[in-house]
Amino acid sequence: MKAFTKKIVLENGREFYGYGFGADREAINEIVFNTSMVGYQEIMSDPSYTDQMVVMTYPLIGNYGMADEDYETKTPTIGGMIVREYNDSPSNFRYTKTLNEVFEEHDIPAIWGVDTRALTRIIRDEGTQKVLITDVATPRDEALRKLGEYVMPRDMVSRVSCKKRWMSRVPNHKYDVVAVDCGIKYNIIRLLNRVGCNVTVMPYNSTVEEIMAFHPDGLVLSNGPGNPEDVTPVIELVKQLRGRLPIFGICMGHQLISLAYGARTFKMKFGHRGANHPVKNLVTGKLEITSQNHSYAVDVDSLAGTGLTLTHVNLLDGTAEGVECAADRVFSMQYHPESASGPQDSAYLFKKFTKIMEEHKNA
Rounded to an integer, the average pLDDT of 349-353 is: 97
Q: What percent of the chain has pLDDT over 70?
A: 100
DSSP letter at 229?
G
274 is in an annotated binding site: no
Q: Residue 280's beta-bridge partner residues?
A: 287, 313
**Total residue count of the chain as it appears in this document:** 363
357 is in an annotated binding site: no
Break the chain into its structural domains and give their ranges.
6-149, 157-362
Q: Residue 109's beta-bridge partner residues?
A: 22
Rounded to an integer, the average pLDDT of 204-211 is: 98
Rounded to an integer, the average pLDDT of 344-349 is: 93
The pLDDT score that the predictor gives to residue 1 is 76
pLDDT band per the 50, 70, 90 thresholds, residue 262? very high
Give every strand in the sheet of 287-298, ordered side by side.
166-168, 197-203, 175-181, 218-221, 247-250, 330-333, 320-325, 309-314, 265-281, 287-298
User: Burial, 144: exposed, middle or buried (Cβ in 10 Å; 0-12, 13-18, 19+)?
Assistant: middle
Over residues 91-110, the pLDDT tens digits come to 999 999 999 999 999 999 99
Going by CATH, does the domain composed of 157-362 fall within 3.40.50.880? Answer: yes
Rounded to an integer, the average pLDDT of 65-77 is: 97
pLDDT above 80: residue 17: yes
81 is in an annotated binding site: no
Rounded to an integer, the average pLDDT of 242-249 is: 98
The pLDDT score that the predictor gives to residue 43 is 98
pTM higher than 0.85, yes or no? yes
Over residues 286-303, the pLDDT tens digits come to 999 999 999 999 999 999
> With contact defined as beta carbons under 8 Å apart, do 352 and 214 qualify?
no
The pLDDT score that the predictor gives to residue 340 is 86
296 is in an annotated binding site: yes
User: Burial, 158: exposed, middle or buried (Cβ in 10 Å; 0-12, 13-18, 19+)?
Assistant: middle
Residues marked active site are found at: 251, 336, 338
Please give the single-letter amino acid code of residue 222: S
Say which CATH topology domain 6-149 has. Glucose Oxidase; domain 1 (3.50.30)
226 is in an annotated binding site: yes
Report the distance separating Cα 219 and Cα 260, nearest Å.
15
